[in-house]
Amino acid sequence: MPQSNPSIQVIDRAARLLDAIASYSEPASLKHLSADTGLHPSTAFRILGALANVGLVERDTQGRYRLGGAIVRLAQKVRHVADIREEALPIMETLRDQVGETVNLSIRSGDELIYIERKASPKMIRVEQVIGSRAPLHVTGVGKLMLGRLGETFIRAYAERTGLPAYTRHTLPLERLLAESRLAIERGYALDNEEAEEGVGCISALVHDASGEVAGGLSISAPIERRKDEWIPLLQEAAKGISKRLGFVER
């Protein structure tokens, strides 16, 4: 009979410990956590120590355990994604019906965008971003807007980190990326002119949260020959509508 993968066993035990900690309203002792999970105290202690090293749990002065700050931050991110998706969906559907093309919702994760929702075009030939897929900031309209908000120093550091890999012959070099990111912020929208994929053009706008920070980005994706400038005000109005639903007050 094949033995279980030790790495998977550790993950399973760590998950059981986290779940046990979460069931207590106050910090829990090693004794109680060991009893709740069926783990030997020495095993539980070792795993809890590893979890504490990465911030998933915290140990107080009495040796009791509670969920750590990293768990709180992860929970906040999950709530953020759930909130923006919930508020955006009806507006995305309306925009999709207005333009007849695919509408995408994305958020930033480090040097990438993650597509968290889409409303697909009903047309036979259409552009679709897979939910959960990622794209570098420099090849997307939303990414250029986010880079523009972050400023030249960040963009130059981003270019140094990533090398600005070219996805198509239209992918921008650094100086043009700087110029287009500044322009995107000035006019309130950005274009992707086949920079991520040949034959695909996008129009993008930012979504803001109640604090005024960038919460994500809204984009229309279409075959480049079908993209229309008349969609720009519709997209901007939709992005403003989502921002308003997230509590953003324009000043």
Contacts 24+ apart (CB under 8 A), 14-22: 14/47, 14/50, 14/51, 14/56, 17/44, 17/47, 17/48, 17/51, 17/57, 18/51, 18/56, 18/57, 18/67, 18/71, 21/57, 21/65, 21/66, 21/67, 22/67
Q: Cα–Cα distance between 195 and 141 in angstroms, integer?
A: 9
Q: Tokens representing 126?
A: 């259409």
119, 96 Cβ separation under 8 angstroms:
yes
Q: What is the pLDDT of residue 79?
A: 66
Q: pLDDT, tens digit, for every residue of 124-135? A: 999 988 899 999
SS3 128: coil
Q: What is the pLDDT of residue 3?
A: 47
Contacts 24+ apart (CB under 8 A), 125-129: 125/223, 126/101, 126/102, 126/222, 126/223, 127/101, 127/102, 127/200, 127/221, 127/222, 127/223, 128/102, 128/221, 129/102, 129/104, 129/221
Helices (H), the chain: 6-22, 30-37, 41-53, 69-99, 141-150, 152-162, 174-187, 232-245
Q: pLDDT, tens digit, for every residue of 2-28? A: 445 777 888 999 999 999 998 988 999
pLDDT at 202 over 60: yes
SS3 2: coil
pTM: 0.72
Q: pLDDT, tens digit, for every residue of 42-101? A: 999 999 999 999 999 999 999 999 998 888 777 766 666 668 999 999 999 999 999 999
Q: What is the pLDDT of residue 71?
A: 84
Instruction: Measure CA 175 to chain center.
Output: 26
Q: What is the pLDDT of residue 251?
A: 73
Q: What is the pLDDT of residue 211?
A: 85
Q: Cα–Cα distance between 182 and 180 in angstroms, integer?
A: 5
Q: Cα–Cα distance between 75 and 55 in angstroms, integer?
A: 13
pLDDT at 106 over 70: yes
Give DSSP secondary structure letters for 59-98: E-TTS-EEE-HHHHHHHHHHHHHHHHHHHHHHHHHHHHHH
119, 93 Cβ separation under 8 angstroms:
yes
Q: pLDDT, tens digit, for every residue of 140-198? A: 999 999 999 999 999 999 999 999 999 999 999 999 999 999 999 999 999 999 999 99
Higher pLDDT, 237 or 7: 237
**What would the mean pLDDT of 218-243 be, rounded to a whole number?**
97
200 forms beta bridges with 223
Q: What is the pLDDT of residue 134?
A: 94
Q: Cα–Cα distance between 55 and 50 in angstroms, integer?
A: 9
